[in-house]
Amino acid sequence: MSFPLIANERVKESVDLLISTRRIPHAIIIEGDEGAGRKTLARYLAKAAVCEADQKPCCSCRNCRLADAGTHPDIETVSLEPKKKNITVEQIRALRTTSYQAAHTADCRAFIIESSDTMNTASQNSLLKVLEEPPSNVVFILVAEAAKNLLETVVSRCVVFSLFPPSVTESVKLLKQRGYSEEDAAYILEQENGNIGKAIKRLDGDLGSAGIDAAHDFFEAINRGAALDALLSVTALEKDRAETAKFVSALKEAVSEKFKKSRSYAMVARELAEFHSVICELEPLLNTNINLSLFFTALTSKLLSVKK
Ligand SMILES: [Zn+2]
């Protein structure tokens, strides 16, 4: 089973070792920033805790399948209630009560407490009671921004895993493993401010689109002032209006992104603002029956005239 976490090699090694030697701790804190993979790791640990196979988590037994579907009766997730800023003491009391009940289908119960560092002192003390004398076969997984936000008495009873978002190099490497070129990987990561989760979503979801692919190459060619390259990059779209529409949206997005990053350079910013208005001016033509190669020619020449 491949571990679903990006980077964080040391944590992966420890977790795999604990699981394979059947020593999942009864209390765990997973700390890190949003997007570092905390919930992914929490769900992985919970699945391993309920899995009935020898090699945990096997991902195919009934318990694993229920865990993957998010419907396992022995995995309970406590999260912030609507409009609440804290995990409440009532939620923790309910969790405590359930934790002493026998599991339904697995040999173990797992509790994931999201935003655990929003618990006030009363809630944490309530949790502490069950951490001090834990029922057998129960795993408590606390997801937090930082373990230091929790009471020392709570932290001292937990094994802490610290997760960090992957570095740019690690992210590029990962995207290359998924079959993307280094150039595409670096470009999308820059667009998504280095957020690997968003980059994957965008690449897997959108970049299969010829239109969005072309927008990237087209914009680069325009920036180099290379008219022929710009036109070549869109030849595949000339018979596809749907992809051309995606191309135009992606192009506008690329211009806006670059604009946000170059606001301090007045000349570049002015050029980008003009690019944007050229695209917006020509976009309605797509709703007419204009010949697409004519549309691309007009777009290219108008954009390049901005650069002169
Ligand atoms: Zn399993």
Tell me the domain boundaries of the chain.
Answer: 9-162, 169-205, 209-307
From the CA of 143, how far away is ligand 1's center (Å)?
23
> Which residue pairs, CB below 8 angstroms and at least 24 apart, start in 49-54?
49/24, 49/106, 49/108, 49/110, 49/139, 50/74, 50/75, 50/103, 50/105, 50/106, 50/107, 50/108, 50/110, 51/106, 52/106, 52/107
Residue 207: the pLDDT is: 47
Q: Looking at residue 176, what is its pLDDT? A: 82
Q: Tens of pLDDT along 47-63? A: 999 999 999 999 899 99
Q: For residues 19 and 25, what is the distance between their CA atoms, to the nearest angstrom?
A: 9
Cα 50 to middle of ligand 1, angstroms: 7
**What global pTM score does this model have?**
0.62
Q: Distance between CA atoms of 25 and 45, rounded to whole angstroms?
A: 10
Question: In degrees rounded to 5, what are phi and psi of residue 289?
Answer: -95, 40
Distance from the alpha carbon of residue 48 to the mean position of ligand 1, in angstroms: 7
pLDDT at 116 (0 to 100)? 97
Q: Which long-range contacts (CB under 8 A, 24 or more apart) does 89-93 make?
A: 89/120, 89/122, 89/123, 89/126, 91/123, 92/119, 92/123, 92/126, 92/127, 93/126
From the CA of 76, how far away is ligand 1's center (Å)?
Answer: 17
Average pLDDT for 259-271: 70
Q: What is the DSSP string of 40-51?
A: HHHHHHHHHHH-
- pLDDT value at position 1? 46
What distance in Å separates the CA atoms of residue 73 and residue 94, rounded to the nearest whole number?
15
Q: How far is the CA of 305 from the centre of ligand 1 (A)?
A: 62
Residues with CB under 5 A from ligand 1 (ion): 51, 53, 58, 61, 64
Please say whether the beta carbons of 306 and 278 come within 8 A: yes
pLDDT for position 229: 92
Q: Which two structure tokens, joined as six digits, stand for 209?
A: 């689109």
Output the CA 63–ligand 1 centroid distance in Å: 6
State the pLDDT at residue 3.
59
Check residue 208 and give its pLDDT: 59
Third-level CATH fold of 9-162: Rossmann fold (3.40.50)
CA 50, 55, 59, 63: dihedral to nearest 10 degrees?
A: -30
Distance 52 CA to ligand 1 centre (A): 5
Per-residue pLDDT tens over the stretch 61-99: 999 999 988 889 999 999 999 889 999 999 999 999 999
Ligand 1 centroid–CA 112 distance in Å is 18
Ligand 1 centroid–CA 35 distance in Å is 26
200 Cα: distance to centroid of ligand 1 (angstroms): 27
CA 44 centroid distance within chain: 16
For residue 298, pLDDT beyond 80: yes
